Amino acid sequence: MHKPHPDLNLEQDPRYVADVTGKEGLESGIAVSFNPATGEPIAGVRLDTAESYEQTIRESQEAFKRWRSVPAPVRGEVVRNIGNEMRRLLGPLGEIESMEVGKIRAEGIGEVQETVDIADYAVGLSRMVGGRTVPSERPQHRMMEQWLPLGLVGVITAFNFPNAVWGWNAMLAAICGDITIWKPSLLAPLTAMATNAVADRVATQMGHPGVFRLVIGTDEEIGERMIADRRLPLISATGSCNMGRHVGQVVAGRLGKCLLELGGNNAVIVDKDADLDLAAKSTVFGSVGTAGQRCTSSRRLIAHKDIADDLVGRMARAYKTIKIGDPLEEGTLVGPVIGQRTVDAFTNAVEQAKAQGGEVLVGGNVAKPEGLGGWFVEPTIIKAPASNELPIAMEETFAPILYVFTFDSIDEAIDMQNSVDQGLSSAIFAGSVNTTEKFLNVDGSGSDCGLAYVNLGTSGAEIGGAFGGEKDTGGGREAGSDSWKAYMRRQTCTINFGNELRLAQGIRFE
Ligand code: UN1
């Protein structure tokens, strides 16, 4: 039986079920969390029901009335203490995440660091969120914008970033005066419980209970209820494009606001004058990091035909040294994928690629690290046929597969990069500023993605920038820059401090 780290207080949580066999179905009211490295159950979590959801929302409406009247910089103090507590618990939180979703230790801890970073950022913002004064066309009138708390924010997260994506939303929502209602993935409920408990504990100790709520349940029972719920003015959802399309339609149907962070099919362009060593190292991390299960993972390599073989040769040599295995063991670079469905999707994609004329250069198989009964696949490189036609590469397979294409001219490379439905992340490695500026061209003819990197890989964004993408990626922006605006409502205020009625547009009404 798993013994959770005492500082995470999981055992004290009434939802926590220590003894599970792994055979429990969701109809038993318990979701079992499995360790994807061993395939064994870790512990269970009691699911929310329609009634407990309803109670959470009603209590949250009351909590909102209290929280919104706490001055924003004071809300920032709460967030500062949450960030500090996350800092203290970086190790245990990172480890539970490694155990539950298979991230290697460095990446698990790195993810919690992302929450610490956004907490710091939110503390600063708590003294900065504000509007502008606009010149009025009328004498003795003042116009200004103010930003007001929005209300209850529904946050739906995926298994792959079970801590940080909540952090991006919840830390900003908190300083904005909102209550976060978090529905985590049923593949990572323990990380969510531990994470939310940190925030709730700190806020409660400071006299602000009920600001951070968790609802754990199936999409049918809880997810559908949330997205249709008019008491949640904003739904922020991370997941597949299909999921987002559904969420977007339901929320639009009630004229709610949506913040969608959906799939990516991210490409790395490498020109012939690029630093190939840098490009190879970055692309290896981009494609095999998190076992290819980031929305920002590099899925396509578009290499100039003169250097493609050299570049892929360097990467292939690196791939052969990568240790696949227990994510918590020193030296492991690739842990398991999340479950059998991902293994099947991987195998299916490799088969399709072969049938479409792709050549497997490295990997391509299910992996079986010694002593581990979980779900592993080999990081894989597949070369597209000379025609560059490989339909499977147009899809996002959430696994470590990199498809290689070649190009002659940079325009052609940019077209290829933009030819997929998704528009999250993109990268170019090149030596000439003429080329990199083409990729970033301010006329919009370069990368069509929300994130564009030069001499850096597609994954690993810092929290200070706005994170998200265009097209089927959903258009939402989270984390830094002015993403906070999504969690507030804007009010344009006009004040007449004279004694005369002056109508706008010079209208006379006498
Ligand atoms: C995700 O995969 O949903 O840029 C988020 C990155 C991370 C976030 C990934 N900072 O790769």
Which structural domains are found in the chain, ordered by start? Answer: 54-262+474-491 (3.40.605.10), 266-468 (3.40.309.10)
CB of 217 within 6 A of ligand 1: the answer is no
CB of 4 within 6 A of ligand 1: the answer is no
pLDDT reported for residue 3 = 83
Catalytic residue among 111, 295, 378, 478: 295
Instruction: Tell me the mean pLDDT in the region 344-361.
Output: 98
Which residue's CA is the nearest one to ligand 1's atom 7?
460
Name the residue of 161, 168, 425 to mutate for ligand 1: max ligand atoms within 8 A of Cβ: 161
| 290 CA to centre of ligand 1 in angstroms | 10
What confidence category does residue 168 fall into, taking pLDDT thresholds of 50, 70 and 90?
very high
Rounded CA separation 375/130 (Å): 48
**What are the tens digits of pLDDT across the range 39-56?**
999 999 999 999 999 999
For residue 111, pLDDT over 70 is answered with yes
> What's the chain's average pLDDT?
97
Name the residue of 168, 285, 296 to mutate for ligand 1: max ligand atoms within 8 A of Cβ: 296
- 58-65 long-range Cβ contacts below 8 angstroms, 24+ apart: 59/210, 59/213, 60/152, 60/179, 60/181, 60/210, 60/213, 61/152, 61/231, 62/210, 63/179, 63/209, 63/210, 63/211, 64/149, 64/151, 64/152, 64/177, 64/178, 64/179
For residue 308, pLDDT over 90 is answered with yes
Residue 493 appears among annotated catalytic residues: no
For residue 2, pLDDT over 80 is answered with no
pLDDT reported for residue 281 = 98
Rounded CA separation 98/101 (Å): 6
**What are the tens digits of pLDDT across the range 127-160?**
999 999 999 999 999 999 999 999 999 999 999 9
| 443 CA to centre of ligand 1 in angstroms | 27
CB of 295 within 6 A of ligand 1: the answer is yes
For residue 415, pLDDT over 70 is answered with yes
Which residue's CA is the nearest one to ligand 1's atom 6?
460
The pLDDT > 70 percentage for the chain reads 100
Instruction: Tell me the mean pLDDT in the region 201-223.
Output: 98
Cβ pair 405, 301 in contact under 8 A: yes
The pLDDT > 90 percentage for the chain reads 99
Question: Residue type for 446, please?
Answer: G
Catalytic residue among 261, 378, 396, 478: 261
Ligand 1 atom at minimal distance to the Cα of residue 297 = 11
What confidence category does residue 464 fall into, taking pLDDT thresholds of 50, 70 and 90?
very high
- The three-state secondary structure class of 37 is coil
pLDDT reported for residue 1 = 58
CB of 460 within 6 A of ligand 1: the answer is yes
| 66 CA to centre of ligand 1 in angstroms | 33
Instruction: Tell me the mean pLDDT in the region 244-258.
Output: 98
What the block records as the tokens of 284 is 């290896």
Residue 449 appears among annotated catalytic residues: no
Instruction: Tell me the mean pLDDT in the region 30-40.
Output: 97
For residue 4, pLDDT over 90 is answered with no
What the block records as the tokens of 376 is 């592993």
| 288 CA to centre of ligand 1 in angstroms | 14
Which of 199, 202, 125 minimizes the C-alpha distance to 166? Answer: 199
Q: What angle do CA 95, 90, 34 make, to 5 degrees?
A: 25
For residue 381, pLDDT over 70 is answered with yes
| 461 CA to centre of ligand 1 in angstroms | 6
CB of 296 within 6 A of ligand 1: the answer is yes
Alpha-carbon distances, residue 307 vs 48, 384, 385 (angstroms)? 55, 15, 17
- The three-state secondary structure class of 372 is coil
Instruction: Tell me the mean pLDDT in the region 440-455.
Output: 98
pTM of the complete model beyond 0.85: yes
**What are the tens digits of pLDDT across the range 7-17?**
999 999 999 99
Name residues whose C-beta falls within 8 Å of residue 205's C-beta, 6 or more positions apart in sequence.
none
